[in-house]
């Protein structure tokens, strides 16, 4: 009927009761409070009463154990995040429950993705995340500061000091530090015209803790301009009334705040800057704790094991793909779960089809696939280059070098190599009439790495002509306007270019012509069939006449549309032997087909949307969405339209067009494996020609650029670098040689002899590449071996970035939540 709760406070151990689940507030509640000087023996003896009185199954940690648990959890969380702090911080690799991977230095991201189970660590993580929500940064600094406070407290407590004494001291120190902060800050005037240089310094400081230096400096201008652009817009980036940003820089580890997401320059902005002052040795002392303190079920690879795991994964993926590189590369056979077979040399296809599970290999594969998406080629080269960077790094790390030193050297070498590439490239004039021979050389170089020499040489002409066909001066090249159609028919050498369009279907009426010359082409997106209403409707009739009237009314609107097309046909074909062809994106029902067939009109229905665009570019005219205002100017023209039947499949050819800006590459082959291989090669060939036209330059191939860049780095750049970063430059330079080495190895040549002969020629001032037939140096320009500038540039940009990130991974944590976006 009632509940009496007696709470007594004794000096040794406070007893806190009254959990919500055990209260019965529906009854009469009586509270009796006893002070510390009451006589507990007379009311209820609480000398050391256990919580198990309330819950017999409860797990209890009393004073000393609870204190050590909280301190160890704080130190454990500090140990996980402290290596991320500052521009030189390392990276964490989070592997989610479904295998999703995330590389991050951001403490906020790390705390949100980790499944922390320790209650103390959860409280600290929530405090740190709140720090990020309020001020935009400082998550990692908050965690390590709390951890250090707990660590310093532990020493005092172990000597017998009561925690209350420490807490009182903390409060005094906090007030004094805040007062010192007010006197220490440096005011910055931010009026109608903020000091842009100060903002750049702030943004640069922040960004360099998250990204490598080159990208951070590039993004600095973008970040500042984006913030200033929203100045005056209501709310800005968020809806805070004002924002104060405090930036402190200490000699060991900068505390960096002010991410864009938390800026609101539409409000009053105050900036306070702090110079280097703190004593790192007294402020931050790091210990090494396992992440398992936070989550006992987490799978963790710490520094050495994580590094070796990433290096071995990179080398493993390199070993899988390196035998595919170059004209002498071998072929992989992929066998799917259902027995499907695919033969390929294309690295992009291989990486997409393989079921890679290692998180490092997945990251490298994604980088290589992105290389193909951006530049159209270089997938295999990217993988083996990253693998070689990791292999060269392993030798240095095994000798005691810190990965950060190598990463700094990689960044220097990357910038120097990109600058060398600008001077090494060969300009090509691409005006209204591009140099067709250069384009053929580039396409041939690409195709010979995918197909055997005879077929590659035949496809070279087709690929170049198809790109030149769709090219419009002063406009970008849209490769989607090249339709790649395949027919399982005859041999691969029967592949040809159709300057027009090939549709993968034919007419749907037996009385329509199978071949027609001098054709007017109507490209339309008009429904020529009866469509039922979208709502439930009924019609009731009492006799057959009413039913016939209903059917006639239903057909009337469709027949009127068909009649307008027939009238246009009669208008343009009267007095000549011209023909009329309709290619419709929507449907044409049988009665409409009958009407059109009687007038000698060829009609195709259900054409692909992309083909509608290609038809207009190939034949001329315009795509119409209504038949109300049809004019002869809406029609295109084709000299020949015919239907080809192959088994049960029908193909419609639209050829002999006047001025096509769309075409079709018709791939033929005896089996699906050959056709798929040719398709992949043709796509890469098209991209290589497109890149050459847009880049207006090429790069000498056959390994010439890699050898020249390596010699440049060792002979000139390395001498200008101070300190141990020279070793990073040297490792980068040696990694470049993986391309000529692999080309020689796949050709059955002695790699050492090849590299010695190539470097010797380069030292003499001769730019040479590798002749895969005899292993002798050749002039790539005379041999017509050229690579794409954009492919090389993307390779040099992306390879070192992912290698640096992997080298800086100091822990791999398989405890993150599922990082996929929830499906609808």
Distance CA 731, CA 394 (A): 10
Of 119, 248, 243, 131, which is closest to residue 190 (Cα–Cα)? 243
Catalytic one among 79, 346, 372, 492?
346
Chain mean position to CA 82: 27
Catalytic one among 79, 132, 684, 695?
684
Q: Where are the beta strands (DSSP E) in 166-250?
A: 186-187, 242-247
- Find the helix or strand (DSSP H, E) in which 580 lies: strand 579-584
The SS3 of residue 293 is helix
Distance CA 195, CA 171 (A): 37
Of 181, 219, 186, 215, which is closest to residue 203 (Cα–Cα)? 219
Can you list the pairs that 576-581 forms with residues at least 24 positions away whose Cβ atoms lie under 8 Å? 576/518, 577/518, 578/518, 578/519, 578/520, 579/513, 579/516, 579/517, 579/518, 579/519, 579/520, 579/641, 580/519, 580/520, 580/522, 581/516, 581/519, 581/520, 581/521, 581/522, 581/638, 581/641, 581/654
Go through the chain and tell me how many residues it has: 824
Residue 297: Cβ within 10 Å count: 9
Distance CA 680, CA 349 (A): 8
The SS3 of residue 83 is helix
The label of the residue with tokens 């940064």 reads: 137
Chain mean position to CA 532: 45
The SS3 of residue 234 is coil
Distance CA 450, CA 441 (A): 15
Q: At a CB cut-off of 8 Å and minimum separation 6, what does 274 contact?
A: 184, 185, 186, 246, 247, 248, 249
Catalytic one among 310, 349, 360, 380?
380
**149 backbone dihedrals φ, ψ, rounded to 5°:** -60, -45
Of 137, 112, 145, 115, which is closest to residue 126 (Cα–Cα)? 112
Q: Sign of dihedral through CA atoms 594, 596, 602, 606?
A: negative
Q: At a CB cut-off of 8 Å and minimum separation 6, what does 256 contact?
A: 86, 137, 138, 205, 206, 209, 247
Structure tokens at 655: 């050829």
Assess contact for 397 and 724: CB atoms under 8 A: no
Q: At a CB cut-off of 8 Å and minimum separation 6, what does 822 contact?
A: none
Inter-helix orientation angle 789-807/359-375, to 10°: 160
379 belongs to the catalytic site: yes
Of 709, 702, 705, which is closest to residue 770 (Cα–Cα)? 702
380 belongs to the catalytic site: yes
Distances (CA, A) of 395 to 178, 401, 406, 651, 727: 49, 9, 11, 59, 11
The label of the residue with tokens 């470049």 reads: 736
Residue 811: Cβ within 10 Å count: 22
Q: At a CB cut-off of 8 Å and minimum separation 6, what does 483 contact?
A: 501, 502, 610, 611, 614, 662, 663, 664, 665
Distance CA 40, CA 12 (A): 14
Distance CA 267, CA 243 (A): 7
Catalytic one among 8, 379, 417, 495?
379
N-terminal to C-terminal alpha carbon distance within the chain: 50
Q: State the catalytic residues.
A: 346, 379-380, 684
């Amino acid at each position: 009927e009632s509940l009496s709760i007696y709470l007594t406070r004794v000096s040794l151990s406070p007893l806190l009761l009254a959990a919500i689940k055990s209260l019965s507030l529906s009854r009469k509640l009586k509270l009796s409070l006893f002070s510390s000087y009451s006589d507990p023996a007379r009311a209820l003896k609480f000398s050391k009463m256990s919580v198990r009185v309330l819950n017999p199954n409860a797990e209890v940690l009393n004073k000393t154990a609870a204190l050590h648990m909280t301190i160890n959890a704080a130190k454990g969380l500090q140990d996980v995040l402290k290596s991320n702090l500052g521009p030189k911080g390392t990276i964490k690799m989070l592997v989610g429950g479904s295998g999703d991977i995330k590389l991050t230095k951001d403490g906020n991201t790390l705390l949100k993705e980790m499944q922390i189970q320790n209650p103390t660590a959860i409280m600290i993580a929530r405090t740190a995340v709140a720090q990020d929500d309020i001020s935009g940064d400082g998550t990692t600094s908050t965690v390590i500061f709390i951890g250090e406070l707990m660590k310093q407290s532990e020493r005092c407590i172990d000597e017998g000091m009561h925690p209350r004494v420490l807490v009182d001291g903390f409060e005094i120190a906090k007030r004094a530090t805040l007062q010192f902060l007010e006197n220490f800050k440096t005011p910055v005037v931010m009026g109608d015209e903020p000091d842009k240089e100060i903002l750049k310094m702030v943004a640069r400081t922040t960004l360099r803790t998250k990204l490598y230096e080159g990208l951070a400096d590039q993004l600095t201008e973008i970040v500042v301009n984006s913030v200033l652009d929203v100045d005056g817009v209501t709310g800005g980036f968020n809806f805070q009334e004002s924002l104060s940003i405090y930036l402190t820089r200490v000699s060991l580890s900068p505390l960096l705040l002010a991410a864009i997401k938390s800026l609101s320059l539409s409000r009053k902005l105050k900036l306070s800057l702090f110079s280097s002052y703190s004593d790192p040795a007294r402020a931050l002392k790091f210990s090494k704790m396992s992440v398992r303190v936070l989550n006992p079920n987490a799978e963790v690879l710490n520094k050495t094991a994580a590094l070796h795991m990433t290096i071995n994964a990179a080398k493993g993926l390199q070993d899988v793909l390196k035998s595919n590189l170059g004209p002498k590369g071998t072929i992989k056979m992929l066998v799917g779960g259902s027995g499907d077979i695919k033969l390929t040399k294309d690295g992009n296809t291989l990486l997409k089809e393989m079921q890679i599970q290692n998180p490092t290999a997945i990251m490298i594969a994604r980088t290589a696939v992105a290389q193909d998406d951006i530049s159209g080629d270089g997938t295999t080269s990217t993988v083996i280059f990253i693998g070689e960077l990791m292999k060269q790094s392993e030798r240095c790390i095994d000798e005691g070098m810190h990965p950060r030193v190598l990463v700094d050297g990689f960044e220097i070498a990357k910038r120097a190599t990109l600058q060398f590439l600008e001077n090494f490239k060969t300009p090509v004039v691409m005006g209204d009439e591009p140099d067709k021979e250069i384009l053929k050389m580039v396409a041939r170089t690409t195709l010979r790495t995918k197909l055997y020499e005879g077929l590659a040489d035949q496809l070279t002409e087709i690929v170049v002509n198809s790109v030149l066909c769709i090219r419009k001066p002063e406009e970008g090249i849209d490769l989607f306007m090249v339709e790649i159609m395949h027919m399982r028919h005859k041999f691969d050498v029967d592949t040809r270019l159709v300057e027009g369009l090939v549709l993968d279907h034919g007419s749907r009426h037996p009385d329509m012509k199978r071949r027609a010359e001098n054709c007017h082409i109507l490209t339309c997106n008009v429904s020529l069939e009866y469509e039922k209403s979208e709502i439930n409707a009924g019609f009731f009739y009492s006799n057959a006449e009413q039913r016939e009237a209903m059917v006639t009314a239903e057909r009337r609107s469709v027949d009127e549309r068909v009649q307008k097309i027939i009238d246009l046909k009669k208008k343009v074909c009267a007095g000549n032997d011209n023909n009329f062809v309709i290619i419709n994106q929507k449907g044409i029902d049988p009665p409409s087909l009958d009407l059109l067939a009687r007038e000698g009109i060829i009609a195709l229905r259900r054409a692909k949307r992309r083909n509608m665009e290609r038809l207009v570019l190939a034949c001329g005219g315009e795509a119409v969405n209504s038949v109300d205002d049809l004019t002869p100017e809406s029609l295109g023209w084709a000299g020949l339209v015919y239907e080809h039947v192959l088994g049960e499949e029908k193909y419609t050819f639209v050829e002999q067009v006047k001025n096509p800006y769309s075409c079709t590459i018709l791939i033929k082959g005896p089996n699906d494996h050959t056709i798929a291989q040719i398709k992949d090669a043709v796509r890469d060939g098209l991209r290589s020609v497109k890149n050459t036209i847009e880049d207006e330059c090429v790069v000498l191939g056959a390994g010439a650029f890699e050898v020249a860049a390596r010699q440049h780095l060792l002979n000139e750049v390395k001498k200008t670098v101070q300190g141990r970063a020279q070793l990073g430059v040297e490792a980068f330079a040696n990694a470049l040689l993986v391309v000529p080495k692999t080309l020689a190895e796949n050709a059955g040549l002695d790699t050492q002899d090849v590299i010695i002969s190539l470097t010797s020629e380069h030292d003499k001032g001769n730019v040479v590449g590798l002749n895969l037939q005899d292993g002798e140096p050749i002039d790539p320009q005379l041999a017509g071996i050229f690579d794409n500038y954009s492919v090389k540039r993307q390779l040099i940009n992306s390879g070192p970035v992912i290698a640096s990130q992997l080298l800086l991974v100091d822990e791999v944590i398989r405890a993150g939540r599922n990082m996929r976006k929830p499906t609808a």
